[in-house]
Every structure is written in C-alpha cells, then in structure tokens.
Amino acid sequence: MVLGSLFQNLYSIIDSIIVGNVIGKEALAAVAASFPIIFTLISLVIGVGSGASTVVSQYFGAKDYSSVKKTIDTIYIFFLIAGIIIAIIGNLFSEEIFRLLRLPEEVMPDALTYLNIYLLGMIFFFGFNGTTSVLRGMGDSKTPLRFMIIAVVNNIILDLLFIVVFKWGIAGAAWATIIAHAGAFISAALYLNRTHTIIRFRIRNINFDREIFKSCVRIGLPTGLQQSAVALGMMFIMGIVNSFGTNATAAYGVAMRIDSFAKMPAMTFSSALSSFVGQNLGAFKEDRAKKGFKSTLIISGVYCIIATILIVLTGEFLMRLFTPDEAVIQIGMDYLIIVSSFYILFSMMFSFYGVLRGAGATLIPMLITILSLWVIRIPLTEILSNKMGVNGIFWALPVSWLIGVVCAWIYYLKGNWKDNVIIPQPGNSK
C-alpha cells in the first residue's frame, strides 16, 4: 500500500517536474493552484469510498461474501454518477473559483486549461480508486500496486510525448493524466473479471443496495466531510499564498508535492491499519487490533524520522528538479525545513485516525480535523503571514498537528471507538 500510494503521488509530481522545466513557472503555479480545487471537488466522494472500504473489510472478516459483492456494486454506481456531476460542476465554475482564490492574472489561462481538462477524467479516477479501496478492504494491496505502476509509467511517457514532442503545453499534462487513469481502471477491471472470484464487474448484473450504501455513508461521510473541510481550508490557505505572487504560488505547490510524497507512507500506514482493525474487530479480535495500532505507531514514527532527515538534506536538490528559478527554490526550502521537522506529530495523528476509522468511529477524526484546521491553523496562518510573511503560513501547520494528536489521544484512551463496529459483537444486541 505504501508503494502504491507513492506511485499514485507520482502523477502530480511528474506533471509538475515536466511542466516547470519545459513550460515555465507560470504553468507550474497553474498546476499548484488547481490541486486544492480538485481535492475539494473529490474529497466528499473519496470519503464515502473509504466508508465502503471499511464496510468491505468488516464483511470480509465475517466471511459474508454476498454482502461484499453488494457493497462493490453499490460503490461503483455511486462513483460513476459522482464523476459525471463533478466534471460538469468543475467546468462551469472553474474561473469563478480561481478568481475567488486571488490567482495571479498571468497564471489564469494555464490554470483554467489544466483544471477543465483534468476534471473530464473523473469517472476513470473514481473507478480506479473504487477498485483499489475494495481490494485493500479485503487485504489485497499487491494488485493495486501493479496497476498503479503501469499507470505511472504510462503517465511519464505521455507527458513527454504530449508536452515535449507535440508541444501541447499544459493541456498535454492534463490529457496524459486522464489517459493514464483510464488505462489503469480499464486494465484493472478486465484483469479482475478474469481472475477474482468475488470482484467481477458485470454491467448487466450490477445492483445498488440502499442499506449498504447507508452504511457506507454513515461510516464514510464523516471522513468525506473531514476531507472536504481540509480541502476548503487548503483553498483558503492557497488564497493567502497567492496574495504573495507567482513565486510563492509556484514554490508552495512544489514544496507541497515533495511534502505530500514524504508524508504519504504515514497516511498509507493509517489506511492499512483501518482495514486491519476493521477485519479483526469483525472477527471479534480486539486485542489483535490494538497490537496492530501499536505496531503502526512505531513503524510510521520511525519512517517519519527518516523522512525528516532526508528532506532536510536533499530539499534543495528536490526543488531544483521542478524549477531553476532561485526565488521559487528559496521559498520552497523554507517550507520544507519548517514542516518536515514535525513529521513525527503527523504520523502519530494519522495512526490514531486509522484505528478509529477501522472501528467505524469516523466522526471523531472529522471533528478533530475541523478543530485543528479551522479553529487553529487558518486563523494562525492569517495572523503569522501578516507578521512573518509567507513563512508564517508554514509555521501554522505543525501547530495544528500538535492539537490533532492531543485530541485523538484523549479519545482513544476513553475507549468509546470500539462501540461503532457494524458486525454484532458477542453479548451485544446491536
């Protein structure tokens, strides 16, 4: 799962590297400005998908394979409809959103081109995401990795072809990503139809189960709302960054790519822990679920310490992969040094979130995220940026992580998270 997530993150990183070096920093800023908008549009849907993964893991742990199949059918139908709606809404209001975020005028044409094309591929993005969520819910993390590697390789080839050879500019980057997503989803669906006994995608026999969808929404909606709150917060913060000019926008976008790449394993350990906890609670093995949580804390923490050291030592080199512009590089280095120094807090926070989501207690991570982001980080970003300049934006992030860790720790110690499992436990009439 860690490898799969790292390869998935390479989509945006490869786009940014080629765009920044071949087209220029205005196009690089356009890709950076588009990311928070894309995240905002898809976050609620992905949250419901994470709920489906939890439902699959618990039914799979209980060996209720009929319900596993119904869950798969239901989530595919939901993703199809959501992909169409998001593509339409995004294209209708993209310019208004960019202007609301105070995007520099010289970046606007490239940003509109990239975002409007990118959103056309939402159906394929959701289709592949749904397939990987289901497989991971059943404990299969190797199959998604294989197809993700294929998708990343295709994306690299198509980026070079469309941008360097065909000279399509930033539109080429967007089309390369869409085609890579489509290829990954279609090839994964064909492979699973032939090889998997439970997951077989048949349009004629697909059914939407309302009760299962309600369970997916009940468990996944808090996560979706949490991600939406994060996404809206990112848009708000991007608006503050944009007010410092194109250099700041480009630097923030590049540094976030490197930062997200470094943090991705900790997030993926959390996702793996959710499936692990869900399966073990579904099989009435609470002690094993707790041991998995402790192991994840240790593994994720050690990784983040290593990531911090690597980012500090190689940050400037990594920034230069994206752009030769010295002003952009310096701002990006400030971000990386400040934020990476506190990765250990991030890993702890997501480990707590993983065990809570696996048990179905997804409301608490949502509330904690809203508190740490909207009550702490965003007001602090506004205050510190006025006093310290763009670096004040960066210092607000680790403070919000600290608040998140403390709140999640307190709730975990209370033990209420164990009461949210959908599989009836021994001695429990639920």
User: pLDDT by residue (tens digit) across 23-38?
Assistant: 999 999 999 999 899 9
From residue 99, alpha-carbon distances to 29, 63, 170, 251 in Å are 14, 51, 19, 20
Residue 87 pLDDT > 60 = yes
Q: Mean of the per-residue pLDDT values for the chain?
A: 88
Answer whether residue 141 shows pLDDT above 90.
no
Taking only the tens place, the pLDDT of each residue in 38-70 is: 988 898 898 888 888 888 888 888 888 888 888
Q: Domain coordinates of the chain in residue numbers? A: 2-420
Whole-number Å distance between alpha carbons of 175 and 395: 36
Residues 201/9, Cβ–Cβ less than 8 Å? no
Report residue 321: phi and psi, to 5°.
-65, -30
> Does residue 46 contact residue 129 with C-beta atoms inside 8 Å?
yes
Instruction: Tell me, yes or no, if the pTM score tops 0.85.
Output: no
User: For residue range 318-355, what is the model confidence (pLDDT) as tens digits?
Assistant: 999 999 999 999 999 999 999 999 999 999 999 999 98
**Cβ atoms of 76 and 127 closer than 8 Å:** yes
Q: Please report the pLDDT score of residue 188 as a whole number.
A: 82
Q: Give per-residue pLDDT as tens, 151-181.
A: 888 989 999 999 999 999 999 999 999 999 9
Radius of gyration of the chain (CA): 21
> Residue 136's pLDDT is what?
75
pLDDT at 427 over 70: no
Which residue type sits at 202? R
**Other C-beta atoms lying within 10 Å of the C-beta of residue 63:** 10
